[in-house]
Chain A
Amino acid sequence: MVRLFFSLRTGARPWLIAGSTVQITSMVLLGCLCLNSFKPRSTCAAEPATANGQSSGGESPVDFNSQIRPILVANCTSCHGGVKQAGDVSFIYPEQVLPPDGWIVEPGDPDASILIERITTDDADIRMPPPDEHPDPLSPEDIELLRRWIAEGAQWQNMWALTPLGLASSPAELKTKHSAESKWGTQPLDQIVLANLQAKNLTPSEEAPAEQWLRRASFDLIGMPPSEDQLTEFLSKLESVSLTSEKEAVYAAEVDMMLAESHFGERWASVWMDLARYADSMGFEKDPHRDMWPYRDWLIQAFNADMPYDEFTIKQLAGDLLEDAMAGDWIATAFHRNTQTNTEGGTDDEEFRIAALIDRVNTTWTVWQASTFGCVQCHSHPYDPIEHDEYYASLAMFNDTMDVDLPDEYPTIRVPNDRSQLEHAIDVQRRAEELRHQRNAVGWDVAHAANWQSLTPASFKTTDGKLKQFDNQIVTDGGTFPPGTKYTVELNLEDLQTQLGEQPLSAMKLDILPLSDDPAQWPEQGSVLSELTAEWIDAEGNATPVAWAGVIADAITGSTDPDDALRGNASGAGEYPKLTGPRQTVFVMRDPSSWESLNEKSIKTLRLTMRQSHSTTGNLATPIRRLEWFATTEVEANQLLESDQWKQLTDSLAQARKEASQVKGPKLPIVFNRPAEAARETRVFVRGNWMERGEKVDPAIPVAFTQGTSVRPSDVNSRLELAQWLVSNDNPLTPRVWANRVWAQLFGIGLVETQEDFGSSGLQPTHPQLLDHLALQLRDEHRWHLKPFLRELVLSSTYRQTHHVSEELQQADPRNQWLARGPRTRLTAEMVRDQALAVSGLLTEQIGGPSVMPPQPDGVWQTVYSGASWKTATGPERYRRALYTYWRRTSPYPSFLTFDSPTRDLCAPRRIATNTPLQALVTLNDPVYAECGKALVEQTAAVDTQGTITPIESQIARMFVLVTQSQPTEWELHELKALYDDLDETSGVPQDDGKLNVDQNALAIVASTILNLDKALTK
C-alpha cells in the first residue's frame, strides 16, 4: 500500500494507465487516504470493516459483504462478472464460485482453493489479475483476508442491502453498552451515532442555539424559514422553562406545529418531484404543455395527510388496479406518466413508447430499491446478481399500459376545477371508459363465437400502390399507400351463397393482419380501416348500400371506437399507431337480406370499399398490409344488437359520456392497462435493442431480491403485486432506501451516500446499524408515516448539535459523515427562492393549482416548432413558491438549474450541491431577488412604529433577523450600517420636519447584501 501510495505521488497514477487497471486502486486508494491523515475518510464501510486489509486478524470473523465483496468488485468482476464471464467464471453468483457447481473456492481449505493459487502465484501466465494489464498483484492484506474468509468456511452473503433488517445489534443493546459512558442523546438513534463517534475517538458537539436549530428544522420540515413571530414565541417559551423535560416539550410542540402546516406537503412534494421526474411538458423537440399539476397537488395532499409510504407507493404504481379505485388512486398513477412523449414529426411511436416503458422500470427500481437496473437492459448486471432476462421480466409488468406515445396522451382524465365534485367527476369518466370496454366485450363474446367462413375475393383493386392475393388474403405488393388510399374488394354473390348455405349473410368479419407471422417481429406499423362502405351491386352496376347495426372489435385498445369505421372520420378498425398482432373486427348487418330477395334484385356482387385515411404525426399512412374477410349466417350478434341489454348498455354509455364531457378541468395523463384479450407480449431485447426481439418472458422480479424470503420471483407478476411486494416485510430495501433519502435531506449526505445505488457499485453505509434502526422505526414503529419519523430525527441530539466545526474536526471529518456536529448545508434551489419571498412578505401562500410563470429573462424559451411562450405572471402568481414554477423539460427555470436542480428528464435520485459564481449572479442580480430586497425594506419599515421613522440600525437588524433568524452582532450591525452610510445619497441630512431622510435604494442594497449572506444561503 505504501508503495502504491508513493507511485501516486510520483505521478504514475496507476488507475489511469490502462482501462482495466482502474480496479486495483479504489480500496487501496482509500487505504492510502486513511494513512495520509484522512483517518475518518468515510467512503468505505464503517462497520465492521476498518479500511479493507487493515484487520489484524484473529478477532471477529471475516464479513463477506464489507470485506470480501469489495475486493472482488474492485479486482475481479469487471472480467468475471455479469457482462464478461471470462473462462465462464463469475464472482457475482455464489454457485459459480462455491461447490457443488463452482470450483473456485474450497470452503475451509484456502490452499486447495484455485482462487488463492491464482492470485498468489509468481507465474505470470496464470496470475490473476493478469499482470500485463494489472502490473500489481493483490495486496498481501487482501490475500490474507481472502484466505481467512475461505478458512472460516467461505460464507457468501447476499448484497448487504438485501439482507434482512435488524440483524445488527439493536439500539437497546447499544444503550446498555454505552449508557455508563454518556447520557448524551434524546433518541435511540443518538446512541448508535454516539457509539460510532466513540469508536473514532470523536465526541458530539454541543447543542445548537435554539434559533439555529429552528432555522434548520423549519427548512427541513416546511422548506421555508420560521416567521418572525414564530421565532420570538419559540425563544420566549424556552426562556420561560427551566426543566429539561419542559424544554423538550417546547421543542416537540414546535416540531408538531411545523408538521401540521400545509407548507410541509409543499416541501416534501418537491423532494418527490425530482424522483418522479415531474414536469409540466411532454419533452423532446416540441415539448408541448402537459396538464400534470393535479398530480403535484396530489403529492402535496398526500404528504400533508401523512399518507403512509406503503399506500403512497401502491397508489402511484398501481392505483388503477385497486378494487374500487377512488379519484386519488387514479390521479396518483400519473407518477408513471411523467415519462416523455415524443411529438416530433416522423418519430416511431413504438420506439418512444418503449423509451417511456424502460424509464418506468428504471425509475421504479431506482426510487424504491436504489438499484441500478438500467444497465441490465443490455446485458446482465456487471456487479450485482441480476440477469439480462430478469430486466424484461420486470418490464413485462409495465408493458400492458394503454399509452402509446401519442400527442393526445390517452389515457387521460379530467380533474374537475370544482374539487368538491372530485369523486363524482372521476367516477363518471371512469364509468364511461369502462362501459365502452364492457359494451364491446359483451358484443365480442357473442360475435367471435359465430362460425366464420373465410371468403375468396372475386376481385380487388386499390387507388394507390399494388395488392396481391395469397390464399384468401389480400396483401400489399409494393408502391406507395398515402393516407386516403381506398381498396375495393368484390365478393361474388353466387360464391357467397354456395359457401354459406341457406341462411342469409348476417355479419362480416375483417382480420387485419401483420405482414409477418412471427410474433417476435411485432408490432408493425399501424393498420387502420377508416371507413367501410358495403354495397350490393346488381347486373346493371346499380349499388344498394348495406346498412350496419354496429361494429364490434376483439378489444378496445385506444381512445377511438370500432364504430368509427362507419362514421367517415380517420379512425376506425384495426390498431394505431402500431399493429400489435392480428386484430379482428365484426360488422353486424342491420337487416340481413335473404338470398332470394337479393337474387330477385339481380344482385351479383357484394362490394366492400375500404378507405384508409389515418396517418401518424409524421404524416405517414397506416395502410392495411394484409387482410382477410369472413362471413357468417349466425344471428346471435344481430339479436344482441337489437336486445334491451344492448340498448341499455348503449344508453348508459351515452349518458356516462355526456356526464363525463361536462367535467371541466385539467386533462391529466393516467395509467391503465389494455384489456387482457389484447395483452402485449414481452420479449427480451437482444443487447437492449428494441428492434431485435428475442425470447418471450413472463413477468417476475429478479431472483436475488427474493433470497431468504418465501416469495417466488413469479409470484410478483403485476404492477399491483410489485407495489405490494415493495412495501411488504419481505423487502428490506424499501424502508432502507426511503429512510436514507429522508436522512440525506436533513443531513446533506445519506448514510449510504449513493442514494441512487445500494448495490455493489454504490457505497456501503457509514452506519449500517443506524440505517437499519431507522428503516425499522419508519416501517414498524411509525407504520410508514413520515411525520413521526421526521419528528424523531429533528428532535434527536444528533440533529440538534451545533454546526460549528473546529479545525481538527473539519480535518478529521470534512463532510460530517460521522455526525460529530450538526448539519450545515446550502439551501436547495427551491428554498433559495421561497426564503426570499417569505422574508420579504411577498409570498403568495396559496397551496396548489396550475403551474405559474414568474419573471425569467427574455429569450430563454426558444423551442423549435412550438408556439408556446412564457407569459410572465402579474399579481400574486409572481410570488408563488418555487415548486409551482412552470417546468418545461427542454428549458427549465434558469435560476433553479444554477442552484443544482436537475432537468427532470429522468428520475433524479440525488442533487449534488455546488457553489458557483453563477449562483452569486442569480441572488445578486435576478430581478426577482432585487424585488425581494426592496420588499424586505418596505416591510421592515412599515410595521414598526407610529409616525416616527425607524432608526436605520434597527431596521437593518430586523431585516437581518428575518432572513437569518439570528441577531446580528454589534460588529455585524456596524458593518451593515456603515455600508448604508456609504451608499446613502441623502447624506444623512434631515428633512424640513426634522425626520431623517432614508435612502430606500441604499437600504435595498443592504437588504440584498443580507439576502446574499452565507448564513442566508445555508440552513
Chain B
Amino acid sequence: MITFLVRRLALGLLVMWLVTVIVFIIFYIGPGPADVARALAGRDAPPATVALIARRLLLDRPWYVQYGHFLWGLVHGNLGYDYFHDQPVTSIVAQGIPITLSLIVGAAPLWLFLGVMSGVNSAQRPRSFRDRFFTTLALFFYSTPTFVLGVLLILFLYYQLTIHGIALFPGSGFTPLTQSPLEWFRGLVLPWLTLALVTAATYTRLTRSSMLDVLGEDYVRTARAKGLSERRVVYRHALRAALTPIMTQFGIDVGTLVGGTVITEQVFGLPGLGWTAVHAIQEQDLPVIIGIVIVASAAVVVCNIVVDALYALVDPRVRLH
C-alpha cells in the first residue's frame, strides 16, 4: 500500500512538473517578454521605462532563468505578483477559492443524488416508460451547454419570478457564508442547479449501465430469493457494488471542476477562480492566469490520487499495477 502511494505521488509530482513546463511554454512563446513589458508600460512610455519593467520582472533574462525563478517561487508557495496591482497571486487565488468551493460543495451532492436516483430508477425497469423518461431527460441535459442552461434559469427562475413579485433568487453576485448564510444560499441555488443538472446527466447514464450489469449477478438473485424487499435488494445489495465507477467519476469531476466552473461563474457573475481567470486573460495578466491554471491542475492531480488510494483500499488487486 505504501509503495503504491509513493509511486502514485511521484507520478502526480511528475504530472505537475510537466504542467508547469507546458504553462511556461505557452506564455513564453505566446505574448513574448518584450510585448508584456511594452503593454505594461503603456503606449507612450519611453524605452527606458519598458526596459526597467522588463528588468524588474526578469523579462530580459533568458528563458531558463525565468523558468528557474518561477519554479523556485512555486516550490516555496509563491506564485508571483500580478502585473497591474502588485498583489501576490496567492492572495488573489485565495479570494477565488471559497466561491468556487461553495459552488462545488452545493452542486456535488445535488448532481450525485439526481444522477444516481434517476439511474437506479431507469435500471430497475429497462425499456419502461420511466426508463425512457429519465434517459431522455439525461440526454437533454447532457446536450445542453452550461451557459444556455444558466441563462435560461436566470430568465425564468430569476427574471420571470421577480417581475411577477416572487423574488426568490438574485440574478447574480455572491454573498460570503460568514456574512449571511441565507443570502449565500439564495445566491447559489441557481448556479448549483445549473452545474448539477448538466453534470447529473453523465451520472444517470453511468449508474444505469452499472446497475444493469450488477442486477444480473447471481448474488442479487440470491438476495431476492431470500425474500428481501426489492428496495433493500436494489439499494443495499446492488447499488453498493454499482457505486465503484460512479465514485471514480465523482472524484475526477470534483477535481476538474475547480478549474471547470468558468462558465457557471461567468454566467452568474460569481468572482471565483474561473471568473478571475477570465478577467486576468482579458487583461493579459499572466501571473494570475498561470497561478490559477496551476492550482486547478493540482486539484485534479490530488483528486486522482485520492480516488486511486480509495480504490486500492477497497480492491487490493489495484495495488499490483
**Do A and B come from the same complex?**
no
- On A, residues with C-beta under 8 Å from B are none
Q: Which residues of B contact A (CB under 8 A)?
A: none
